[in-house]
Amino acid sequence: MSLSADPGAGRDLCVMTWLLGYVDPLDPSFVAAVLTIAFNPLYWNVVARWEHKTRKLSRAFRSPYLACYSLSVTILLLNFLRSHCFTQAMVSQPKMDSLDTPAAYGLGLALLGLGVVLVLSSFFALGFAGTFLGDYFGILKEARVTVFPFNILDNPMYWGSTANYLGWAIISLVPAGAVGSEARQPDGPAPDSAGGPHLHGGPPALHR
């Protein structure tokens, strides 16, 4: 009995090969963007888990809130660096002229708008400490966060940020940006939203 190959997989491979034709992997700006995109979640996952196990940051700052806010500053600075590297890569990478259409531009704007809504609504639902890993510092909410956008998505900040980068790439006419946006997807399940930041995969968020 012969087994037929999945035609869908073949089409996906062809599309990916076609898109990679517009990616210059040796471009220093592209390499920097990929490294910052990969490093940032690794950094805050490692530091948050280390703090949860040892409480050394909370003891050093003599307050879990000060420790959490200090970590948030480093996360924000790293995110600014990531955005800068991504912007530089958008300038230096090959452009796809077929994206230079009103429809593509409108799609890019729509994705940016969707991304902003998801990211901001997630932030307001979780609060500052909830967004920046406060559960790992023992800063807990009384109950799960189930309001929008957590009532429709498991990882709204990831999806919102991904939509932002993808929309940015489409408006810039640079398919390489799709690589960066895809790299932002979480590798594992996000914690349930009992104050969990949905910025990271990992163990369930802590409840009181």
pTM of the entire predicted model: 0.77
Query: In sequence order, what are the residues at sequence separation of 6 or more whose Cβ sits closer than 8 angstroms to the Cβ of residue 38?
Result: 183
C-alpha angle 38/96/79, rounded to 5°?
25
What sections of 3-146 are H helices per DSSP? 7-20, 28-54, 56-61, 64-92, 102-131
Does 75 score more than 70 pLDDT? Answer: yes
The answer to whether 193 and 145 are in contact (CB under 8 A) is yes
Tell me: the pLDDT tens digits for 102-118? 999 999 999 999 999 99
Delimit the domains of the chain by residue range: 27-183
Query: Is pLDDT at 72 greater than 90 in this prediction?
Result: yes
- The pLDDT value recorded for residue 19 is 63
150 burial level (CB within 10 Å; 0-12, 13-18, 19+): buried
Binding residues: 113-115
Percent of residues, the chain, with pLDDT higher than 90: 55
Question: Which residues does the annotation place in the binding site for S-adenosyl-L-methionine?
Answer: 113-115
Question: pLDDT at residue 195 above 60?
Answer: no
128, 121, 103, 202: which is closest to 159 by C-alpha? Answer: 121
Residue 73 · residue 11 · CB < 8 Å: no
The percent of residues in the chain predicted with pLDDT above 70, rounded, is 75
Cα torsion through 58, 61, 65, 70, rounded to 10: -110
